[in-house]
Structure 1
Amino acid sequence: MASASAAAGPPRTASVDVAGRAVRYAATGSGPPVLLLHGLERSLADWGPLQAALPGYRVLAVDLPGFGGSQPLPDWRLASLAGQVEGVLDRLGIASGVHVVGNSLGGAVAMQLAARAPARVSSLALLNSAGFGGNVSWALRVLDLPLLWRLFLRPDEGLARETERLLFHDPAFATDERVATALALARREGAARASRNMSRELGSWRGVHVGWRRELLAQVAALDTPALVVWGTHDRILPAGHFINAVAALPRARTHLFPRCGHLPQIERTAETAALLRS
């Protein structure tokens, strides 16, 4: 990624209609397009700090279908989510040259987008991405267990705060503002069901299914698209052992492992992550 420097300014939030369903996005700046895709149970709010750290780019953070301010789809296949994201690019007139950045679930969607539209994607950056291992946090496994899943139907501040703290190595990043945002997202109508449906599409209480991972990684490994894999040593959602798997699965990718960093390097290591993307 290379660009001229210019102030990014505050994000401009809007929605576009894709296949009859609203998709929300937040845009900053102008220049080469950068697409940011968030993780499970999250929203485009996770990208605010990184958007501000990427002047000189047209940065688009998108709420994935069923999350944040975007309407759900009838099915939860990665291909369907990637199709909606591609539809956003169509509506905004972005035909090619997109630098795609995905965190967690968003990383898997980013890989799916690159596999289905390689001519459209200039580079791929995967931050603590889903798709590289079967072992995941209990917080994801319980979504497949009916009795425990019911807890997510009645979110409260205590649960939101504990979940938010799981995402970071440094608990100071689990601010009251972020907890309030997470709680508001969890209380949206259909939010718990969206998280459960997406989780069950990709795995079960035993872990992440191997079938879709093997197929998708084979497709991405065959691409000529430049790739970057970033992880945090203290990720308690997708353990850093997944990083080792990613290095093996994508041997041509650039890689970086942040010490003392959790699941959201775009927040916990904003400046360093932005520098990696720009380089």
Structure 2
Amino acid sequence: MSAPAGLRPRHVTVDGRRVRHRVDGAGPPVVLLHGIGRSLRDFTDQHELLTHGFRVHSVDLPGHGGSLPMAGPATLPALARFVGRYLDAVGVDRPAHLVGNSLGGAVAMRLAVAEPSRVASLALVDSAGFGREVTVALRLLAVRPLARVLLRPSRAVARRTERAIFHDPGYVTDERIAYALELARQPYAARVMAEIVRDLGTAGGVRPQWRDELLAEVARLDVPVLVVWGDRDLILPAAHLDAARARLPRARTHLFADCGHMPQIERADELHRMLREFWSAGAAPPAG
């Protein structure tokens, strides 16, 4: 899973904090945003495929992977503001295609609502924000005493997490498990993950207030939206795609068969083709 030469991560300073990212290719800007407790490596395949024709940015969100946490709490609005500051730091001055998986999808939508001039399109991959249901492992993290116990890094937890993410067990490799454990052992990882979980949900599931407000605002935007899902997602169930169709009736949607929470990995080539078709069919940003 190591990145080839030229596609390895480097660092940039955003609001005085070190942020790990990758930037490659030339053309319209694309920003790839990962999920909670994850890192930019979840988008390695898409990064490599999209660099032919696009300027691709993969970034570790604050408090994830190689990025230091923000000065304040990690909330959805704060994470969206961070992405805007990141774009400033790396000199992106034109609308970008945002591709977000899980938490990254909600961050992308929040940025589109807060700063619509920055966003050319939204591609939401098994995105948070469309329903209350979420895996019990995340719901329990909203309970403070349990969170302290459940967020202690262990190989067993890392293995269970990887098994829940992927439908095909062939993707649950020793290397992926070891890397998940490495991420969990970062000194800021548990605190940031708990902050995000408590901001977005409770032990009963994802809070409806921020979801309803956000989706209503996204529906009013004049921005192309693609929503895709894996039909075997154990983290955010595929029924959320029906909610996406209802709340965002102009969005294009697709359900991947025999696929878990990360179509960008399990269906890398298919998603890549779908993204290019989506952008070429009317989601291209203006020249500039």
Tell me which interval the TM-score lies in, with the shorter structure as reference length: over 0.9
CA distance in 2 between counterparts of 1:226 and 1:153 reads 37
Paired residue for 2:28?
32
> Which is further off, 255-264 or 111-120?
111-120
Alignment partner of 1:93 is 2:91 = yes
- Give ranges in structure 2 of 5+ residues lacking alignment: 278-288
Q: Could you report, residue by residue, the CA deviation over 1:14-42 in whole angstroms, capped at 9, with x for unpaired residues? A: 22222222221112212111100000010
1:275 & 1:225 partners in 2: Cα distance? Answer: 20
The question of whether the paired residues in 2 share the 8 Å contact of 1:152 and 1:192 is answered with no
Unpaired stretches in structure 1, ≥5 consecutive residues: 1-7
SS at match of 2:117: coil
Distance 1:161 1:143 in 2: 18
Between 23-32 and 108-117, the greater mean CA deviation after superposition: 23-32
Q: Name 1:75's counterpart in structure 2.
A: 73
Query: Which aligned pairs between 1:1-279 and structure 2 lie closer than 5 A?
Result: 10-54=6-50, 55-73=52-70, 74-279=72-277
- Which whole-Å CA distance do the structure 2 matches of 1:239 and 1:167 have between them? 11
Correspondence for 1:3:
none
Match of 1:25, SS? strand
State the distance in 2 between where 1:193 and 1:93 align: 30
Question: Which range moved further: 88-97 or 40-49?
Answer: 88-97
Aligned AA for 1:40? I
Deviation at 1:147, TM superposition (A): 4.1
Q: Which amino acid aligns with 1:17?
A: T
**How many pairs does the alignment contain?**
272
RMSD: 1.4
Shift of 1:243: 0.7
Contact 1:167 1:264 in 2 (8 A): yes
Q: TM-score, normalised to structure 1's length?
A: 0.94
1:215 is paired with a residue whose SS is: helix
Q: CA deviation at 1:148?
A: 3.1
Task: Report the AA paired with residue 42 of structure 2.
Answer: D
Residue 9 of structure 1, CA deviation: 6.5
Contact 1:9 1:29 in 2 (8 A): no
CA contact (8 A) 1:47 1:267 kept: yes
Q: TM-score, normalised by structure 2?
A: 0.91
Matching residue's letter, 1:44? L
